[in-house]
Amino acid sequence: MANTYIEMDTLKFLLFNVHDLKEVLQQERFAEYDEESIAMMLDSVKDFSDKELYPYFKEMDENPAHFKDGEIIVHPQVNKYMKEGGEMGFLSGPFSYEAGGMQMPSMAVNASAFIQEAANNHLPGYIGLTIGAAELIVHFGNQFLKDTYVPKMIAGQWGGTMCLTEPQAGSSLSDIVTTAVPVGDSYKINGQKIFISGGDYKGAENIIHLVLARIKGAPAGTKGISLFVVPKNRLDEGGNLEDNDVTTVGDFQKMGQKGYCTTHLFFGDKEDCTGWLVGEPNQGLKYMFLMMNGARIAVGRGAAAIATGAYHASVSYAKERPQGRELQRTGKKDASQEQTLIINHPDVRRMLLLQKVITEGSLSLVFLTSRYQDLSQSLPDAESRAKYKLLLEILTPVVKTYPSEMGITSVNNGVQVLGGYGFCSDYILQQYLRDIRISAIYEGTTGIQSQDLLGRKITMENGKALQLLSEEIRNSINESMVHESLRPLAEKLGSKLELTQKVLQSLMGYAMKGDYQRFLADATPFMEFFSTIIIAWQWLDIGREAQKALISGNTNFSAEFYENKIHAMQFYFKYELPKTTGLSEILMDKQALTLNTEKQVFA
């Protein structure tokens, strides 16, 4: 295994320089923090990850979580990580002081989580879902629920999950059938849930499940779904834990992320499972989306982290592996020469650069959405908060999807860099490839995210979110035009904004006619088109900050560091951005080849 899984200089450059964490820290909500304290925190997270996460990465894959004698057996490091993570503030970071948290900016929280996920993506999910479940209780639960569950969850003593999917429903949540029958001030819960990450494991004192269910007599479809807190163990009148009739009936053995358990749960097998309503009846899906949106950003962040670890493993291998001779300009090779390292071969360099631009562009997008999240919560005036909330809304499906889909492409190229060894378990690339594959499925598949982007976010408030986003991009273009070396790239990005308008005009024609099936049929190619442009914007910002640092003689990082960022930006604009031209042709083509017809195309 490579001994490097992240480059802290790149993380800090993106966080502090490109996305200006300082502006966020100037808001009253984050007055207790400054850049120095955040940097020290991130260094301590890196030191912790070096010792407590990264050394167990391969081991957790080789000794996966598994179901035995009615329990999920996990690696011992899981319980240790929950306990020590609680002590280090990994769970309490995003919560307000009133909720017992550290009130840390989302940008810093996501930077910390990214480091951990790059070190070992099998562990942070246990903490991430606990945070999400506790956030739901804080936002929508009554005081009893807050006092009973949140303190121990954010201390790392109790875990948390979200329980949505059922065997017959899948992603179609309108079809869930888990029931809730009122009994006094609580409810009797009955039903089953599948694919529950971190759903239960040996050694966990308690797991607090956030469960979607239907109250008897509720409306059909998504309008009749309510949200409940259903603990694995409930508190009796004496404050002691007792069984709450939540049964683990099995687990799912996965191709990757094997140390992160995924369970099948049954609620109320003995008709003695108690749940407590969160908020109002029939508002469960609305509430759950608060957690799901945060989870979608987390999935993109995790995919970016996995791809980053794979990138560094690829680079390390390429710097050590001799093979072949360099091709001379004449087209000949000198067989008498010693073998050259494969990093000197142009096609290997192309694959490594592709990995680099995907991973760093993805991390930049994670920090951008985190910045929007922070500003939408902390700015003093309502109009500005609303602006950043819209920007966050339109980019959430993108930040979930681009790192996931292109992260798979990135790691796949890493396997190719290693050649035959990449396919062997002796080397870590195959594990990264297996681990990242779930990212395009987690928390809403790529198809679901793409329909959300095109069908909801692009059109929301008569296109206001898209208008605001376009203004943000044009501001970056205008700032970049000042630098002569960046002007051609800025102009290219500007032309892609114009192309986006042409594509949307073509697609909107179907929506105007009421043909929404045709309008959304190519939502996934649109996501690829749109996100490729968004990442070009990120790289223009990265390149501009590097250029400004070189001009000013900034020595926070080396001149070579800044020059490498500019080189990567140029690579993205040459090799990736032009792909949008072909995608635009697909999107504006009038043929409808994927719609269901009477023709037996799969016969």
Tell me if 349 sits within 8 A of 343, measured CB to CB. yes
Tokens of 245: 């009739």
> Which of 117, 360, 443, 545 is the catalytic position?
443
Angstrom distance (rounded) from CA 257 to CA 235: 33
Angstrom distance (rounded) from CA 185 to CA 183: 6
The phi and psi torsions of 249 (rounded to 5 degrees) equal: -100, -5
Nearest residue to 540 via CA among 479, 583, 467: 479
DSSP H helix total and E strand total for the chain? 19, 12
Q: Packing angle between helix 346-378 and helix 382-418, nearest 10 degrees? A: 160
Helix (H, G, I), strand (E, B) or coil at 542: helix
Q: Any residues with CB less than 8 A from the CB of 483 and at least 6 apart, and which? A: 544, 547, 548
Q: Can 28 be counted among the known catalytic residues?
A: no
Tokens of 450: 């793409």
Residue 56 DSSP class:
G
Angstrom distance (rounded) from CA 9 to CA 527: 30
Tokens of 351: 């694959």
Angstrom distance (rounded) from CA 87 to CA 156: 8
> How far are the Cα atoms of 137, 210, 212, 403 from residue 189, in angstroms, in the given order?
18, 12, 10, 37
Tell me if 312 sits within 8 A of 7, measured CB to CB. yes
Angstrom distance (rounded) from CA 53 to CA 49: 5
Tell me if 455 sits within 8 A of 447, measured CB to CB. no
Tell me if 128 sits within 8 A of 298, measured CB to CB. yes
Instruction: Name residue 213's beta-bridge partners.
Output: 226
Alpha helices by DSSP H, listed for 381-428, are 382-418
Q: Which residues are catalytic?
A: 443
